[in-house]
Amino acid sequence: MPDSPNSTPMSQTDGLLARHRAVMPNWAGLYYDEPIEIVSGKGNRVVDASGKSYLDFFAGILTNMIGYDIPEVREAVERQLATGVVHTSTVYLLRGQIELAEKIARLSGIPDAKVFFTNSGTEANETALLLATYARGSDQVLAMRQSYHGRSFGAISVTSNRSWKNNSLSPLNVHFLHGTDQHLAQFRGMSDADYIAACVDDLRHVLATAVTKDVAALIAEPIQGVGGFTMAPDGLFAAYKEVLDEEGILFVSDEVQTGWGRTGSAFFGIHNHGVTPDMMTFAKGLGNGFAVGGVVARGDLMDGPHAAGVATFGGNPISMAAAGATLDYVLDHDLQANAARTGEIIIGGLREAATRLPVVGDVRGKGLMFAVELVDPATGAPAPALAVRFMEETKKLGLLIGKGGLYGNALRMAPPLTLTEDEAREGLGILVTALETINDEAR
Site for ligand PLP in 233-262 (CB under 6 A): 254, 256-257
Rounded least distance, CB 397 to ligand PLP, Å: 26
Rounded least distance, CB 119 to ligand PLP, Å: 8
Q: 3-state class of 47 per DSSP? A: strand
Q: How is the beta sheet containing 410-413 ordered, strand by strand? A: 360-366, 369-374, 410-413, 402-404
Region from 104-112, 121-129, 189-197, 421-429 binding ligand PLP, contact rule CB under 6 A: 121-129
Select from 56, 126, 181, 221 the one that contacts ligand PLP (CB under 6 A). 221
- Whether the Cβ atoms of residue 47 and residue 20 lie closer than 8 Å to each other: no
Residue 149 in contact with ligand PLP, rule: CB under 6 A: yes
Residue 148 in contact with ligand PLP, rule: CB under 6 A: yes
- Whether the Cβ atoms of residue 426 and residue 403 lie closer than 8 Å to each other: no
Residue 31 in contact with ligand PLP, rule: CB under 6 A: no
Torsion of CA 431, 272, 215, 122, to 10 degrees: 50
Residue 283 in contact with ligand PLP, rule: CB under 6 A: yes
Rounded least distance, CB 159 to ligand PLP, Å: 9
The residue among 226 and 250 lying less far from ligand PLP, judged by its C-beta, is 226
Rounded least distance, CB 8 to ligand PLP, Å: 24
Q: Closest by alpha carbon to 206, among 249, 261, 267?
A: 249
Residue 294 in contact with ligand PLP, rule: CB under 6 A: no
C-alpha span between 258 and 265 (Å, rounded): 11
Q: How far apart are the first and last CA of the chain?
A: 32
CA 392, distance to chain mean position in Å, is 23
Rounded least distance, CB 255 to ligand PLP, Å: 8
The residue among 264 and 269 lying less far from ligand PLP, judged by its C-beta, is 269
Q: Closest by alpha carbon to 260, among 365, 150, 334, 316?
A: 334
Here's the x/- map for ligand PLP, 63-102, by CB under 6 A: it reads as: ----------------------------------------
> What phi and psi values does residue 439 have, to the nearest 5 degrees?
-60, -45
Select from 121, 277, 349, 415 the one that contacts ligand PLP (CB under 6 A). 121
Rounded least distance, CB 229 to ligand PLP, Å: 11
Give the H or E element holding residue 257.
none
The residue among 97 and 230 lying less far from ligand PLP, judged by its C-beta, is 230
The residue among 226 and 383 lying less far from ligand PLP, judged by its C-beta, is 226
Residue 225 in contact with ligand PLP, rule: CB under 6 A: yes
Kindly give the pairing relationship between strand 279-282 and strand 250-254: parallel
Residue 122 in contact with ligand PLP, rule: CB under 6 A: yes
Region from 26-34, 143-151, 334-342, 400-408 binding ligand PLP, contact rule CB under 6 A: 143-151
Region from 90-98, 120-128, 317-325, 361-369 binding ligand PLP, contact rule CB under 6 A: 120-128
Residue 382 in contact with ligand PLP, rule: CB under 6 A: no
| 413-427 burial code (b ≥16 CB/10 A, e <16) | bbbbbbbeeebbebb
C-alpha span between 218 and 256 (Å, rounded): 16
Region from 23-31, 142-150, 180-188, 422-430 binding ligand PLP, contact rule CB under 6 A: 142-150
Residue 226 in contact with ligand PLP, rule: CB under 6 A: yes
> What phi and psi values does residue 231 have, to the nearest 5 degrees?
-130, 145
- Whether the Cβ atoms of residue 426 and residue 55 lie closer than 8 Å to each other: yes
Rounded least distance, CB 155 to ligand PLP, Å: 7
CA 184, distance to chain mean position in Å, is 23
The residue among 164 and 240 lying less far from ligand PLP, judged by its C-beta, is 164
The residue among 293 and 408 lying less far from ligand PLP, judged by its C-beta, is 293
Rounded least distance, CB 30 to ligand PLP, Å: 16
Residue 126 in contact with ligand PLP, rule: CB under 6 A: no
C-alpha span between 391 and 145 (Å, rounded): 26
Bridge partners of 41?
A: 46
Q: 3-state class of 214 per DSSP? A: coil
- Whether the Cβ atoms of residue 414 and residue 257 lie closer than 8 Å to each other: yes
Which chain residues interact with ligand PLP by CB under 6 A?
Answer: 1, 120-122, 125, 148-150, 221, 225-226, 254, 256-257, 283, 293
